[in-house]
Structure 1
Amino acid sequence: MMDYVEVRSSTVAAVGYDDSVGALGVQFLNGSEYHYFAVPKSLFDRLQSASSVGSYLNKFVKDAGYQFKRVR
């Protein structure tokens, strides 16, 4: 089960983390939702407090090549 936390961002609405499988969940303001797999919990912690959530997500998750699945 993934619990989401709202974040201040121009593109991201909320982020969540599932410890049991190491999955990062990202809900975007446009209504889409993605799960990224094998993401360290420390990355999720830093993402929540990043000065720019979208930029952090792009640089350390998307550009890093984590496998993902669109769930909504």
Structure 2
Amino acid sequence: MAWQDFAPFTSSNIAAIRYDEEQLLLEVEFLNSTRYHYYEVPPQIAQAFDQAGSKGTFLASTIKGHYRYSRV
């Protein structure tokens, strides 16, 4: 996999986010150490997520419920 880490950010719930454009795979790690993979996320959505002012709000409104996911 060719993971790309998101730019550093501060969040009350999310620890890290990274994306694999080849596999259209988005990984979100929460501060409680749980990780989720979101599948078939287009590059433009990942880029918008990276640039979002509130990562939690973007995750809730644009990612959750829109893409298949699994806990890792």
TM-score normalized by the length of structure 2: 0.86
Aligned length: 70
Runs of 4+ in 1 over 4 A off after TM superposition: none
Q: Indicate the RMSD between aligned Cα atoms, in angstroms.
A: 1.2
- 2:36 aligns with 34
Q: Which amino acid aligns with 1:53?
A: K
- Between the aligned residues of both structures, percent identity stands at 36
Write the mapping of 1:56-71 to structure 2, written as runs, cut at 5 A: 56-64=58-66, 66-71=67-72
Gaps of 5+ in 2: none
Q: CA shift at 1:51, angstroms? A: 1.2
Q: Which amino acid aligns with 1:4?
A: D
Q: Which amino acid aligns with 1:70?
A: R
2-structure distance, mates of 1:70, 1:7 = 22
- 2:54 aligns with 52
TM-score normalized by the length of structure 1: 0.86
Gaps of 5+ in 1: none
Q: CA shift at 1:39, angstroms? A: 0.3
Q: Which amino acid aligns with 2:47?
A: D
